[in-house]
Amino acid sequence: MAQKTYTHEPVEEFVFEDWLRDGIKGMRDKFENRMSGKRRAFDTSEFRQHMRNARKEQLLAVRSLLDNAINWLEQKEESPKQEA
């Protein structure tokens, strides 16, 4: 059986934040260009605030997990093994 050889370039890694940033920039450009003679800025401040809050919630979730793991380890250390 013949081995297949591929001549295409490696696929670029997909980064969600970059994809989203490009999409928002494209939407902003499209909306601003549609305004007849008037250039009105596309407000993304509320979106940015939601994205910041989402990142913060993810960090708080990880912190909660770590705090629980630390407490679990401390409780194991406090209860010494009983010798027979």
If pLDDT is split at 50, 70 and 90, which confidence band does 38 have? Answer: low
What confidence score (pLDDT) does residue 14 get? 84
What confidence score (pLDDT) does residue 1 get? 60
pLDDT at 11 over 70: yes
What is the C-alpha R_g of the chain? 26
d(CA 27, CA 14) in angstroms, rounded, equals: 20
Residues 6+ apart with CB under 8 A from 78: none
pLDDT digits (tens, 9 = 90+) for 39-81: 666 778 898 899 999 999 999 999 999 999 999 999 988 877 6
Helix (H, G, I), strand (E, B) or coil at 37: coil
d(CA 63, CA 55) in angstroms, rounded, equals: 13
Residues 6+ apart with CB under 8 A from 23: none
